Amino acid sequence: MTKQHETAILAGGCFWCMIQPFDQWDGIHSVTSGYTGGHVVNPTYEAVKSGETGHTEAVQIEFDPSIISYEKILDIYWNISDPTDAGGQFIDRGSSYRPGIFYLTEEQKLKAEASKEALEQSGAYDKPIVTEITPAEVFYEAEEYHQDFYKKDPEHYKAYRAESGRDKDKSLVN
């Protein structure tokens, strides 16, 4: 039986903290750290974090939609990001850490918009939901040391995550 394949691209602050929450789900083939949405070809981490390339740190999720739906991926995303903060995420500030959903198909766009609308209507947040939903652009894979960082350096990852403020809200604990 051939694995089905779909791609999602999401930004929710530091990509180190965006890998593990998706990695643990059945149907996820891979989660890759990278950069998207900017104007520089083949950006580096240093250039992106300077804020001058226009890119944001993001993850590219390869998944089997017969096992895990795009809607479920969006549900996970809303629970690990702060959709009310356009200026960054948690301790990470600046445009390179802004939240975003980058759709690859019209179907993904419609599902993302419906998911955002449902979140807005839920009353879960006192502030407006500001996460942008935009067409996907080129996704550049980040340097190797950023890939699966939570596995490569678990102590550093845990310390960073604890200091970041992500886990103050129990819904963000992963």
Q: Could you give the residue numbers annotated as active site?
A: 14
Secondary structure of residue 94 in the 3-state scheme: coil
| Cα 148 versus chain centre, distance | 14
Q: Which residues 6+ apart lie within 8 Å of 112 measured at CB?
A: 74, 101, 103, 133
**Rounded Cα–Cα distance for residues 91 and 160 (Å):** 10
Whole-number Cα distances in Å, 32 to 20, 38, 96: 11, 17, 16
